[in-house]
Amino acid sequence: MNKALVRLMAGFRRFREKYFQDSLENSFYRRLSSIGQNPRTLMIGCSDSRVDPAILTDAAPGELFVIRNVANLVPPRESTAGGFHGTSSAIEFAVVNLKVENIIILGHRQCGGIRALMSGDTKTSDSYVSQWMQIAEKAREHVLCEHGDADNETQCRFAEMESLKLSLQNLQTFPFVREAIQTRQMNVIGVYFDLEEGQLWEYDEPSGEFRQLEL
Ligand SMILES: [Zn+2]
């Protein structure tokens, strides 16, 4: 059998012992499957294997509705006609159907998507990643303008944070997001995970800066 599948099956066995324990009728998953999902938070994270939102927050199944894509980007609203809008459709489902109370965008240090953006290749290459990363082009321009003399790693860190701000702004282009904020006080939060230091930073909108969270 395929080695990766064997490894996954061993993990699934431990998962099953934890969540399908007791009698099947009373198990954690029986309740989840009969009641249905009711997550209170939508998390938008990067596909990077080191930044799994559920693992990072020690969340239980059913707790988080998760979108993961390259560089945890939120595109601006576009017409539903034409194109395939995976991220936008999942945001719509979380806000309109699940009525989540919070949206958390989770950025992170050492983001490969941001590194590609800062390399400048995204304008010339015809890869899907390059096309996708153009959502964050304004973040690149901002960093080059404000921190043009900084080394590449520092610029990338600034760009990771700037693109997170952009995604927060792009969320506001969706009418159903604006409405949920206004009518039912849905929270929109930006968090940055420093995976080198093991720290979380929260974006503070009034000051326009990130501040480290006391853990
Ligand atoms: Zn990333």
pLDDT in tens, 195-214: 999 999 999 999 999 999 99
Q: Is the Cα dihedral 186, 190, 195, 197 positive or negative?
A: negative
Q: Is the pLDDT of residue 48 over 80?
A: yes
| 114: Cβ contacts below 8 Å, ≥ 6 apart | 71, 133, 136, 156, 159, 160, 163
Cα 30 to ligand 1 centre (Å): 34
Cα 115 to ligand 1 centre (Å): 9
- Provide the terminal-to-terminal Cα distance of the chain, rounded to the nearest Å: 43
- d(CA 14, CA 39) in angstroms, rounded, equals 23
Q: Is the pLDDT of residue 73 over 90?
A: yes
Residue 23: per-residue pLDDT = 67
Cα 113 to ligand 1 centre (Å): 6
Cα 43 to ligand 1 centre (Å): 14
The protein residues having their C-beta less than 5 angstroms from ligand 1 (an ion) are 46, 48, 71, 111
Cα 47 to ligand 1 centre (Å): 6
Cα 118 to ligand 1 centre (Å): 13
Q: Is the pLDDT of residue 141 over 70?
A: yes
- Confidence grade of residue 105 (pLDDT, cut at 50, 70, 90): very high
Task: Using DSSP, state whether 51 is helix, strand or coil.
Answer: coil
